[in-house]
Structure 1
Amino acid sequence: AIVNLIGCSSGEKVKAIVPVKSFEEDRFLFLVTTKGIVKRMKLSDFSHPRKNGIIYSRLDDDETIEDVKVTGGNDSIIIVTRKGQAIHFVESEVRVMGRTAHGIRGIRLDKDDLVVGMVVAKRGDTLLVITEKGFGKRTDIDAYRKTHRGGKGVIAIKTNENRGNVVAIKDVHDNHELIFVTRIGQVVRMKASEIKTIGRNTQGVRIVRLKEDDSIIDVEKITP
């Protein structure tokens, strides 16, 4: 198991694996926490690993890392929350910090909301948003206008009790394939092109038909 290779503490979980070929000075690790805090660090700060790992962020007691991406210094970031809010801003709005810094606010959350995902947005791609009840949609990246970090963002998908909260997001194009994983162990595979691209401020459509007691827990994309 991976946890045995990297020496995780009791109760600690691996949240992301980021493939890196080299540690260039002009590349960065960009992270977001469940509470909407973002942080940008030089990738080169991680070029000398230790057996038990190194601290790369200071977290509050009720806070965990949600996602980590490698960025190029001026990339566009989209963060989406469980209640369907999304914010789009340029990574350079977040200054480069040391590994022990806590970070700054990336998105302002309502009291009962949490961040569920982040993508590095590229023009021409679409943003896939999927809810726990199997509803979702693809929307052109350009539909998410760029603002400044720290705001509440805009609606990515309308959530309610019947459709469930957002559980995952992915940046996809027509050539991608998608694998949806459910709570009871079902796996559904489909082409991204099978999901219609629609407007941002909408409820979406049923993408995966689930049994009554089942729910989506994650989605992965397969790059051709």
Structure 2
Amino acid sequence: QKASSTRNEDFLEHLFVGTNHQYMLFFTQKGKCFWMRVFEIPEGSKTSKGRAIQNLINIEPDDKVKAFICTQDLKDEEYINSRYVIMATKKGQVKKTPLEQYSRPRTNGINAITIKEGDELLEAKLTRGDSQVMLAVKSGKAIRFEEEKTRPMGRNASGVRGITLGSDSDEVVGMVAINDTESDILVVSENGYGKRSSIEEYRITNRGGKGVKTISVTEKTGNLVAIKNVCDNDGLMIINKSGIAIRMAVEDLRVMGRATQGVRLIKVRDEDSIAAVAKVMNDDEDVEVDEDGNIITEAGTTDTDGAEENGTTLDNDETQTENNE
């Protein structure tokens, strides 16, 4: 049955199961953190469209929410002292802060990270301190390192270097925190090409390096725009800047080598490009909830009908060229 209505060109990306007294933490591109208790979120019917986040928190007009985290009770000392928030910026900085630093809510928000001029917050993830972190940049490289290589810092710190950018025009496009090394890495380029590779294809290095090639960036593929941690049970939503969208099952994408250019996931017309890539829930899957209130996917399929209607194609048999680094 239908769980939620959406506005035009919108789609359901995340589902959290929580109690009234749990907290949602929202992180903005300027590096601020805002809180909301679950009971403060307006309750709606199963088919209502919800409210814009900007109408619920005191965010500045020129700021934007970039990441959010669902947590347990922030008054639980054992919980907040065993969890960390790890953040990444577009210029390659990463910062790890104990969740305890965010356990005293303020209406007007607090500084979560000091953002340097010309930079902005890109991602924030909740971890237990023993995850592996991957950062990808638009020039087609990615780095994988142990979270332990990033020491905990205070809220006002600007972080340490996570990856060295190849040029001034390069920037980080995404971060994933890996807990399950059996999952795969999916990358997508701006001209609609993408591929799925085993995590083991990316060797573990120290943070701050230049990374290894994660996709062969050519004029045909365009720059890298997204990196996601996926498994067979996940779905994928890709949207063009022109508004065309395609939804597909990750299991339909075969696992390929790290240095290949990938297959075409969606046809992109001239002067169009990929606007957003999101890992989404499957429609008919059974779900289980972990202790942080996040959905654990177990089984299910994603409806890929409509790909042809949108003028898109899954070209999984396209010839690939291995580029051995």
- If the length of structure 1 is used for normalisation, what is the TM-score? 0.96
Q: Aligned Cα RMSD in Å?
A: 1.2
Distance in 2, Cα, partners of 1:31 & 1:45: 14
Matches within 5 A, 1:1-224: 1-23=52-74, 24=79, 25-111=81-167, 112-121=169-178, 122-223=180-281, 224=285
Gaps of 5+ in 2: 1-51, 286-325
Q: Please give the alpha-carbon distance, in whole angstroms, between the structure 1 residues aligned to 2:94 and 2:260.
A: 27
Larger of the two Rg values belongs to structure = 2
Change (3 A) 1:131 1:4: same
SS in 1 for 2:55: helix
CA displacement 1:6-52 (0-9 Å, x = unmatched)? 21123111111112223421110000100100000011211221111
CA contact (8 A) 1:195 1:207 kept: no
Aligned 8 A contact 1:178 1:190 in 2: yes
Q: Distance in 1 between matches of 2:59 and 2:184?
A: 35
Aligned length: 224
Give the match's secondary structure for 2:225.
strand
Q: Distance in 1 between matches of 2:245 and 2:135?
A: 26
- Of structures 1 and 2, the one scoring higher in RCO (CA 8 A, sep 6+) is 1
In 2, distance between residues paired with 1:159 and 1:70? 31
**Do 1:31 and 1:67's aligned partners in 2 also have CA atoms closer than 8 Å?**
yes
Percent identity between matched residues is: 40
Contact 1:39 1:103 (C-alpha < 8 Å) held by counterparts: yes
Structure 1 stretches (4+) deviating beyond 2 angstroms?
210-214
Give TM-score, length-normalised by structure 2: 0.67
Q: Which moved more, 1:207-216 or 1:107-116?
A: 207-216
Name the SS of the counterpart of 1:184 in structure 2.
coil
In 1, Cα distance between the equivalents of 2:216 and 2:72? 39
